[in-house]
Amino acid sequence: MANRTDPTARTIHGTNPQNLIEKIIRSKIYAAQYWKEHCFGLTAEKLVDKAMDLDHFGGSYGGIRKPCKFLCLILKMLQIQPDKEIIIEFIKNDEYKYVRVLGAVYLRLVGRPLDVFQYLEPLLNDYRKIRERKLDGKFVITHVDEIVWRLLTEETICDVALPRLPNRLHLEDQGLLPARVSVLAESSDEDED
């Protein structure tokens, strides 16, 4: 399969899915030792095992901008396009937090806006700690809900430009999404009763 997209893969946002990651970053991923040893020839079934082995979240780091394992797996997912059911299972996985975040980032890259809001908003209630590798190569502790909030509000994550996401209020006004109720609002309503 080399570094080509699966021939049966469909286009995402009108382009080859791998093009969602900029060419310079893709080139660095293809040259990375992790990509050559662990991602080359990876199938959707074996991808789950590699995702469970993740121990941090991040894009590229260091002076030469070496790609993290997380970013390599995102590119591999764009290359092989696992079924939507597999991605939903990644997101619903409570046991492995890095698998959940991997699925969330992939869905944000390729998913429709309604699916993004439907599947990612419940993750705002996941407060587990997660290690993030910053640009300087140092690790910081963040939380799953912070990463999901960045996916919903920011334009880039892991050195990858995210596709434009319409404002949630516009989707609510069109009747496509119900009004969002936070966990705090639900708990205060229960306290009043």
Residue located via tokens 């409570």: 94
What is the DSSP code (8-state) at residue 21?
S
Share of the chain above pLDDT 90, in %: 56
pLDDT in tens, 13-36: 777 778 788 999 999 999 999 999
Residue 44: count of CB within 10 angstroms of its CB: 14
Task: Report in angstroms the alpha-carbon separations of 167 from 144, 164, 182.
Answer: 22, 9, 17
Q: How confident is the model at residue 44 (pLDDT cuts 50, 70, 90)?
A: confident
pLDDT for residue 1: 47
pLDDT in tens, 51-109: 999 999 999 998 888 999 999 999 999 988 888 899 999 999 999 999 999 999 999 99
Is the separation of the CB atoms in 21 and 5 below 8 Å?
Answer: no
Tokens coding 47: 């991808």
Residue located via tokens 């590798």: 133
